Amino acid sequence: MTMAFFNRKKPLKILFVATESAPFAKVGGLASVMHSLPNALVRLGHDARVMIPRYLSIDDKPFHLQMDFKGLSVPTGDEEGQKHLVCNVKRYDPIGGGAVTYFLENQEYYEQRANVYGYADDPVRWSLLCRGALEYVRMKGDWTPDVIVCSDWQTALIPNLLKTVYAKDPVLSKIASVLSIHNLYFQAMFDHRFVSEMDFDDGHSPVPGLSDPRISKVNWMRRGIMFADVINTVSPTYAREIMTKENGELLDELLRERKSVVSGILNGIDYSIWNPEEDSFIAVKYSQSKIEDRIKNKAVLQERFGLPVREDAFLVVAVGRLAKQKGFDLLAPVLPHLLDELPMQLIVVGEGDSEIMSFFHDLETKYPIQVATHLRHDSVLPHIVFAGADVIIVPSRFEPCGLTPMEAMRMGTIPIVRKTGGLADQVEDYHPSDHTGTGFLFEKFDSTSFMISFIRAFENFRDKEKWRSLQRRAMGKDFSWERSAKKYVDLFIRAIRSKDVF
Give the residue numbers of the binding site for ADP-alpha-D-glucose.
Answer: 26
Torsion on CA atoms 34, 439, 351, 119, rounded to nearest 10? 30
Burial 223-244 (b: 16+ CB within 10 A, else e): bbbbbbbbbbbbbbbbbbbbbe
**Within 10 A of 445 (CB to CB), how many other CB atoms are there?**
16
Cα(224)–Cα(244) distance, integer angstroms: 18
**What radius of gyration, in Å, describes the C-alpha atoms of the chain?**
24
Spatial CB neighbours of 173, under 8 Å, sequence gap ≥ 6: 162, 166, 167
For residue 154, give the nearest of 262, 17, 36, 256 by alpha carbon: 17
Residues 6+ apart with CB under 8 A from 160: 203, 207, 223, 224, 226, 227
Which amino acid, 438?
T
Judge contact between 224 and 153, C-beta under 8 A.
yes
Binding site per annotation, positions: 26
What string of DSSP letters covers 264-318? E----B-TTTS-TTT-TTSSS---STTGGGGHHHHHHHHHHTT----TTSEEEEE
